[in-house]
Amino acid sequence: MALSKNLKRKVSSENRIFHDEWTENYAFILPSFINAKPTCLICTEVVSVCKEYNIRRHHETKHANFKVAFPQKTEARKRKIEALKGAYAHSNRILVRGLTSQQKVTSASLKASWVLAKHNKPFTDAEVFKEMMVTVLEELDANKSMDGVIESVKQMSLSARSAARRIEALSDAVQGVIIDGVSHANYFSLAIDESTDNTDVDFKEELLSLIPLEGHTTGEAIYAKLEELFKLHSLSFERVNLIVTDGAPAMVGKHRGLVSRLKEHTPQMHALHCLIHQSVLCARLNGELKDVMDKVMKVINFVRGTSSTQHRLFRQLVAESADATHDDLLLHNDVRWLSKGKALDRFCALLNEIKAFLGMSKNKAAADHLILLEDEKFMSNVAFLSDIFGHLNLLNLQLQGRDKTIVDMVEKLESFTRKLEMLEADISTGRLLHFSTLKKTAGEVTELMVDFIKGLRANFTSRFDDYSIPKDIIDLIRDPAVKPPNNFSSPAKEMIPSLDQAALEMEMVDFQTTSVVRDALRSAETVTAFWVGLLGSEEYSNLNKLALFILPMFPSTYVCESSFSAMNAIKTHERNRLTNQNLVNCLRIKVTSISPDIQKIQGRRERQETINRSARHINPMDCTRQMVQLGANPI
C-alpha cells in the first residue's frame, strides 16, 4: 500500500509542454488561452493530456485518410495545415467577438440599471430608457453607420424584472464593499433613526442597512433587528464606539431603549443625542413669542389654504408687484429644520403684498389679520423672530452635510454660543447690527427679545456642555498644537482601555515639540486630513488610536434623515408595490459614494448563468455516468 501511494502519478505535476512539430506531424495546435488543451485542427476535438502518444493515437485512428491524402513532409500537407490553422483562427475570432459583444451589452445594461436607481426611477422605466436610446440613435444615424450599435442597444435586456435583478446585483456588490470595510475597521459608529415611507482609513459614511419594522417600533424590536443584522454579517458590537440617535423614547429609554440594551452587552459604547436635533430643541418657542409664531402661521394658512382660487389670486398679485422679492409664501413644518426661519423671512419680505391682499378681501378673517399686521409691537416681534431664526438656520446649515466629524460640529456649536453673547450685547445696546429686519421695521427692542436670547444662550451652554465624549479629548483632536490638561490621558484611558497611558503622555510631548508635525498640521486642509496623514507613524501609535476612535463618530443623524428623503422619493404612491428588498437595493445605490466593479459583477453573473444552463440541460443519468468516469485512476 505504501509503495502504491508513492508511485501514484499526477498529470498536473509532470509539467508536460506542447511541441511545435506536433502541428505538422499530427495537425494539432495549442490555443493561446489559459488552461488550453491540444486541439485537433481537422475535427476540433481536444486531447485531455498533453502527451505525444495520445495525440498520435487520435490522429492515426480518426484521421488515417488525411495521412494518406497528405503525406508527411510534403508541400501539399504544409499548405493544408496552414489552411486549417487559418480556418480555426477565423472561427475562434468570430466566437471571441461574439462573446465580447455580449459582454458589452451586459455591461451596458448593468450601467443603465445603475443610472436608473441613482435617479429614483421605477424599474419599468428601463424599457422606456432603451426605446429612447434606439430612437435617438436612429434619428442621428443618417448614413446607417451605427447599425451595429443600435442592434446592440436593442439586445439589451432591460425589462422590469431584469432591471430589478441587475440593481440587486449592483446593491450586493456595494454592500460587499461596505461590510468588508466595516469588518476591517478598528472602530465604527452607528447613526440610527426611524421613519415611515409614503405607504406606511478612510472615513466613509455608507448605508449599512435599511431594516423594515413591520410590527412594533420599540427599542427591543430595533435591537433584535440590529443584532440579527450584525450576526448575518459577522460584525461585532465591541468595535462600535458610538451610537447617535434622535433622542426618541424608543432609542434612549432608560430600561427598554435601544441604547440601554446595547450598553448591556457593550458597556464601553458611547451614546449621543443628535447635535442638530439638540440645537433645534434649544430654540423651541414658548409663551408670547410662540403665540406670535402661531398667529403668523394663521395668516399664511389663510392666504394659502382657504381656497385654491384665493392662493392663485395672491400669487398673481405678487407677480404684478415690482417690489416683491419672492413669488409666494412658505408653509412651516416643525419636522423641517429650516422651515420656521424661511417662512418668517418670506412673510416679512412680502408684508406689503400681504397687507394689500388682505385689504382687498371681503372675508371678515382677513380684516382681523390686517389689524394684527398693523400692530407695531406684534410686527416687531415677527421681525425679531425672523432675524434670530435666520442666524439659527445658518448654524443648522453648517451642521448639515456628509463627512462632518464630531470635532467639526463641536467647533461650530462653540462658535455659535459665543455669537449669542455678541447678539445679546447687540440687541441690548440697540445697535441692531445683526438684526436687519427688526432695524428696517424701526421696531422697538423689548425685554422679551433680550430674555429670549439670554435663554437661548443658556440652553446652548447647558445642552452642549457634555457630549458624552470628554471635551478635553475632542479639543485635543481638533487642535493638537494646544497643550492639553495635565490629566488628559485618564479620560482617554477610560474610553480606550487598551491605550498605554504613560506612552500617550510621552507621545504628546514629542508630538507638540516636533517641527515636522507642526508643519504638517499647518499645511493640512482639514483636521481629518492631518490625522489620516499621520496614521502610518509608529512613533505616535497611541495618539493615532485615539484619533481613530474619535473621528469616525457620527455627530448627528443627518445621514439617516437624508436617506429617508431619498427613500420617500423612491417609494412613492405610484410604486407602493415595491418590495422591502428592492427598496433597500435602490436606496443603497442612491446614497452610496462607492462605484461597483461592473466587470466583476458581469463575470460573476455569466458564471452563474453558465452553471444554470448546464444544470437545466444535464440528464440525471448523464451525471451518474460522468461521476463514474471521473473516478480515481487505479494506476
Give one DSSP letter per residue of 568-586, joined into a string: HHHS-GGGTT--HHHHHHH
Residue 240 bridge partners (DSSP): 188
For residue 242, give the DSSP letter.
E
CB 150 within 8 A of CB 137: yes
Cell of 576: 407602493
Confidence (pLDDT) at 612: 57
Confidence (pLDDT) at 291: 95
Confidence (pLDDT) at 616: 47
Confidence (pLDDT) at 386: 95
Does pTM top 0.85 for this prediction? no
What CA–CA distance (Å, rounded) separates 245 from 190?
9
Confidence (pLDDT) at 96: 52
Segment holding 531, helix H or strand E: helix 527-534
Q: Which residue has the cell 442621428?
A: 140
10 Å Cβ neighbour count for 479?
A: 13
| Closest-CA residue to 240 (of 305, 191, 178) | 191
The runs of H, that is alpha helices, within 374-514 are: 376-399, 406-429, 436-440, 447-463, 471-478, 489-495, 501-513
What CA–CA distance (Å, rounded) separates 422 from 430?
12
Question: pLDDT tens digits, residue range 422-466?
Answer: 999 999 999 999 999 999 988 789 999 999 999 999 999 998 877
The runs of H, that is alpha helices, within 119-159 are: 125-140, 147-155
Give me the amino acid identity at 382: V
What CATH number has the domain spanning 165-274+557-591? 3.30.420
CB 555 within 8 A of CB 404: yes
| Closest-CA residue to 477 (of 513, 419, 526) | 526
Q: Give 448-454's long-range contacts (Cβ < 8 A, gap of 24+).
A: 448/288, 448/289, 448/381, 449/381, 449/384, 450/424, 452/289, 452/384, 452/388, 453/388, 453/420, 453/423, 453/424, 453/427, 454/424
Number of H helices, E strands in the chain: 31, 5
**What is the dihedral sign for C-alpha 115, 121, 123, 127?**
negative
For residue 272, give the DSSP letter.
E
Instruction: Write the CA distances from 134 to 20, 106, 125, 163, 291, integer angstroms.
Output: 49, 17, 14, 18, 60
Structural domain boundaries of the chain?
15-73, 165-274+557-591, 282-463, 481-550
Residue ranges of the chain with per-residue pLDDT less than 70: 1-15, 33-35, 93-101, 144, 194-202, 535-536, 605-635
